[in-house]
Amino acid sequence: MVSAVEVRNISMAFGTNQVLSGVDLTIDKGQTTALLGANGAGKSTLIKILSGVYSSFTGEILIDGKAVTIDSPTTAKLAGIETVHQRIDEGIIPGLTVAENLLFDKIVSGEIPRAVSLKTIVSEAEKIAGALDLNWNRSKLRNDVYELGIAEQQMLILARTLSRSPKLLILDEPTSALSIAESQNLFRFIKNLEEQGIAVLYVSHKLSELEQIAKKLVVMRDGKIRNEQSAPFSWDLALKEMLGQQELGERSNFKQVQGSGVILKLNNVQLFKESEPLNLEIKKKEVTGVIGLLGAGKTELAKVIYGADELISGSMDLEGQSYKPGHPSDAVRKDIYLVPEDRAAESMIPNWSISHIATLPFMGDFSARGIIKKIKEGIRGKELVQDLKVVTTSHEAIVDSLSGGNQQKVVVGRWLQSNPKLMILDEPFRGVDIGARRDISKRVRDLAATDVAVLVLASDVDEILDVADRVIVLVEGKVVMDVNAGETSKEKIVNKMSEVA
Amino acid sequence: MSIGKTSATNGFDLRDFIVKYGFILVTVILFVWFASTEPTFRMQNTLFSMLKFTSVVAITGLGVTLTMVVGGLDLSVGAIAGLSVTLSAMTMVIYAQTGAIALLVVLLGGVLVGLFNAFLIVVLKIPDLLATLATMFTIMGLKLVPVDGQSVSSGLILRDGSVAPGKFTPGFLLIDRAYIGPVPLPVAIFFILAFVVWIFLTKTRWGRVMYAIGSNPEAARLAGVRVKRYRALAYALSGVFASIGGLILSSRIGQGDISAGNSLLLDAVAVSLVGTSVLGMARPNAWGTTLGAVLIGIVITGLTIKGFPYYAQDVVKGLVLLTALIFSFTLSRRKSRFVPAV
């Protein structure tokens, strides 16, 4: 194989935070290289270096064996590296026709004169579309670009990118908005590119896709390349490298228990439009841990139970009775609580005090005839600070001033204080220091001991094994494993996670 | 590790001082300047007439403040006040009903328009500014239809050639003219409503939740807050406040002037925006809106007494607003998050 792009000894740091250290990577011509890594592994940084977004790195980039300088998006494009990002709407120019969008670069560069008939543009665009087997006829090319579906918009961006004949095409989670059929279409398109000798670097968390399309797999963790394989891949090995191989000896000591009494039953619930229906029973007195990679359906599961997302199909029973939450407030009224995944976007209210954040979901309990009971609220805030050992000057402190771990304690603690029946925690340990993680884990364990059902969702196996009595593995919206934590091991879990559909 | 409140410096921080007290200081300085140079300005009568003059803007602005608290902005308030003037005139002059019925009709009109705004925003998901802009144009035009585009005053010749049977009732006219002790009724209404909104926003659970919605609607929803209902409530209340403003205006003019309320929108939005900068709160609040209205009242009364031409008023209002925005956005270290995105 001939290399299209070589990356040699690339390192980069943000301040004291070393995000890439000594990365060597060879991307071959005419085939797809898959890049796999958890959040924070350094994938995005590497991509941004290759596409010229970051320039303060050390190391070398070689294209066709020659060293090149890439220090801006323009130089990256000139060197033949094109990147298609996850958010396709950033690349579409609304109000223009499909043809004009397709030829946008040429229109901007002046290659196509400013005053030109749409007819000329359409016939020019037809050539490009034809060359790429897009099957777009003239009337389609004349349409406003917004009449295209998401998949077609993505094709359009790809086509536009390809009209610059790149040497390397980077695709960042290209199928996140696509249906299965549309994804297959995209893969055919990529095969077509490979035949033209274009190198593709493909980033995705969907292992089945990588299996289907990639010839080479590169796994990153903590800013380093940990594993390189050629097809056929050992997913087991790849995931172990991706998730880290800490010894299980670090596991915190707790007595595992088995739950009793089903609180919530999910009957044929679909997490995605095209995923298989899922059946699940969540029991009292135990911590149920749900593990899955990004896009496996963890957040969807949490939000469906909490009434924050609509149920696609299926039904739920709460303690034997039909449960149809239409809004999170319905869930809260039934003592089903959720700590959402993204703390800043989904839990925090800027400039609010700890006490105010604590009482927001339960304003009714902290007011009489609408008037807030300040004293009761203050007591609740103080208790929260004490209970969860929140490091702060006072319960009146502004939450923005707390560290990430302490903010997390506040948004977890506010629910724990109010007698949950089912407590759902989505990635409760993300961006949380080890001390806070232990405190939160302990509280969650204590909670389960008091007749409560707890559901913890995370992508990190160790985090789950640290807290769960029962382990459920989700892959692409489907339960592939459901066992007692004591009867499994990290090995087996990783093995299941790497199961390719 | 530094924990707790952000760096509390011991020294005097001029920037913080200006952000917090700059506005109050400007108000006081202007007041002292006018009072010391213009003897008429000092008179109790002048002060109350200034407050009376500003009460319509202030009350309407309080409604706008409520919509700003939930992260929106009601641009239809001027039109609602104008509609109230026409509605009250129609009820009394054309249909010869009592002042009390006119009052009810006007308040009902305000609620309905507010709910219509809520429908556009919450159900049809039209951005706040655009939805209320559309409502503004629609009702400005719609109110002219039943009156054939004419101002309604007693003695109006109707379509069938007859003379309108009713007139503005003395009771209705009292809304603007009555006094409670030395305090003109509109001023009393203004202060009572300002107090009620202040209590509502700072002391009740509903106000608290509305601030949460304005700061982070998704976090509020995931905390179990019925975001849509509260946003609808804010617009309904805004409609009511604008119609109360319209009632006072109607009582003041004493006829169904079709152009009434036209200039109200800009003033009401301005005082709410000015209010966000008071005490460096960087968020819409009842105190601020009240103070903003009083400040603009002082400035305009003062300048009028000093003999500035009427068109200088808009320039001054613009500058006051600009100064307030600089306080809130440029100087304040708090992130201002009260202006809705379109």
Mean pLDDT computed over B41-66: 89
CATH number of the structural domain spanning residue A262:
3.40.50.300
Q: Do B205 and A352 touch (CB under 8 A)?
A: no
Q: Which residue of chain B has the CA closest to A345?
A: B219
Average pLDDT, chain A: 87
Could you tell me which chain B residue has the CA closest to the CA of A352? B212
Q: Which of B5, B208, B221, B222 has the most A C-beta neighbours within 10 Å, making it the best mutation to test the interface with A?
A: B222
Question: What phi and psi, each to the nearest 5 degrees, are found at residue A9?
Answer: 50, 50
Note whether A91 and A63 are same-domain residues: yes
Q: Is A365 found in the same domain as A217? A: no
Q: Are residues A142 and A284 in the same domain?
A: no
Angstroms from A332 CA to nearest CA on chain B: 6
Q: Rounded to whole angstroms, how far apart are CA atoms B135 and B82?
A: 13
CA-to-CA separations, A386 to A94, A222, A393, B177, in angstroms, rounded: 53, 35, 12, 58
- Residue where one domain finishes, among candidates A243, A270, A287: A243
In this prediction, residue A251 carries a pLDDT of: 52
Q: According to the model, what pLDDT value does residue B333 have?
A: 61
Interface check for B306 against chain A (CB to CB < 8 A): the answer is: no
User: Is residue A145 included in any domain, yes or no?
Assistant: yes
Q: Cβ separation of A367 and B209 shorter than 8 Å?
A: no
The CA-to-CA distance between both ends of chain B, in Å, stands at: 40
Which residues of A fall within a CB distance of 8 Å from B224? 327-329, 331-333, 361
DSSP states along B309-341: -TTHHHHHHHHHHHHHHIIIIII-SSPP--SPP
Instruction: Flag if A372 and B205 touch (Cβ within 8 Å).
Output: yes
Which residues in A130-203 belong to E strands, given as ranges?
A: 168-172, 199-203
Interface residue B229 vs chain A (CB under 8 A):
no
Residue A56 lies in a domain: yes
The third-level CATH classification (topology) of the domain covering B18-331 is ABC transporter involved in vitamin B12 uptake, BtuC (1.10.3470)
pLDDT at A245: 59
Nearest CA in chain B to A356: B208
Using CA atoms, how far apart are residues A263 and A259, in angstroms rounded to an integer?
Answer: 10
Return the pLDDT at B2: 38
Interface of A with B (CB under 8 A): 306, 308, 327-329, 331-333, 338, 340, 345-352, 356, 360-361, 363-364, 366-367, 370-372, 391-394, 397-398, 401-403, 406
Residues A202 and A279 in one domain: no
Nearest CA in chain A to B283: A351
Asked if residue A248 is part of any domain, the answer here is no
Specify whether A329 is located in the same domain as A359.
no
Q: A43 with A177, same domain?
A: yes
Same domain, A328 and A351: no
Q: What is the pLDDT of residues A398-449, one digit of tens each?
A: 998 888 888 999 999 999 999 999 999 999 987 777 778 888 888 899 999 8
Domain boundaries, position A427: 257-335+420-501
Q: Is A181 left (phi over 0), alpha (psi -120 to 50) or beta?
A: alpha
B337 touches A: beta carbon within 8 Å: yes
Give the pLDDT score at A250: 47
CB atoms within 10 A of CB B296: 25
Q: Does some domain include residue A252?
A: no
Tell me if A360 and B223 make a contact (CB, 8 A cut-off).
yes
Mean of pLDDT values over B124-132: 95
Out of A328, A356, A402, the one facing B221 most closely (by C-beta) is A328
| Chain A nearest C-alpha distance from B147 (Å) | 42
Chain A contact present for B221, CB below 8 A: yes
Q: Is B222 close to A306, i.e. CB distance below 8 A?
A: yes
The CA distance from A325 to the nearest CA of chain B, in Å, is: 11
Amino acid identity for residue A446 in this structure:
D
Residues A7 and A225: their CA atoms lie apart, in Å, by 12
Q: Which backbone phi and psi does A252 adopt, to 5 degrees?
A: -70, 150
pLDDT of residue B342: 40
Among A418, A451, A479, where does a domain finish? A418
Are A235 and A358 members of one domain?
no
Predicted local confidence at residue A249, as pLDDT = 40
Q: Which of A174-188, A227-241, B64-78, B179-193 bottoms out in mean pLDDT, i.e. has the lowest?
A: A174-188
Q: Measured on CA atoms in the order A226, A228, A234, A235, is the torsion positive or negative?
A: positive
B148, two tokens: 């054939």
Question: What's the rounded Cα separation, in Å, for the pair A283 and A470?
Answer: 10
Q: Are B272 and B105 within 8 A, CB to CB?
A: no
Q: Looking at the 3D structure of chain A, how many domains does it have?
A: 3
Do residues B41 and B35 touch, judged by C-beta distance below 8 A? yes
The set of residues, in sequence order, having a beta carbon less than 8 Å from that of B188 and lying 6+ positions away, is: B180
Tell whether A278 and A363 lie within a shared domain: no
Q: A113 and A18 in one domain? A: yes
Buried b / exposed e over B209-227, threshold 16 CB at 10 Å, is: bbbbbbbbbebbbbbbbbb
Domain boundary among A418, A434, A450: A418
Mean pLDDT of B93-106: 94
pLDDT above 70 for B335: no
The residue that leads in pLDDT, B280 or A144, is A144
B6 in A contact zone (CB under 8 Å): yes
Q: Which residue has the tokens 């490091």?
A: A391
Q: Tell me the pLDDT band of B110, cut-offs 50, 70 and 90.
A: very high
Using CA atoms in the order A363, A364, A369, A371, what is the torsion angle rounded to 10 degrees? -10
Stated length of chain A: 501
User: Which range, of A32-41, A44-53, A464-473, B322-331, averages the lowest pLDDT?
Assistant: B322-331
pLDDT grade, residue B332 (50/70/90)? low
Asked if A208 and A321 sit in the same domain, the reply is no
* Min Cα separation A292/chain B (Å): 23
Q: What is the pTM of this model?
A: 0.79
* Residues A53 and A200 grouped into a single domain: yes
Domain annotation covers residue A291: yes
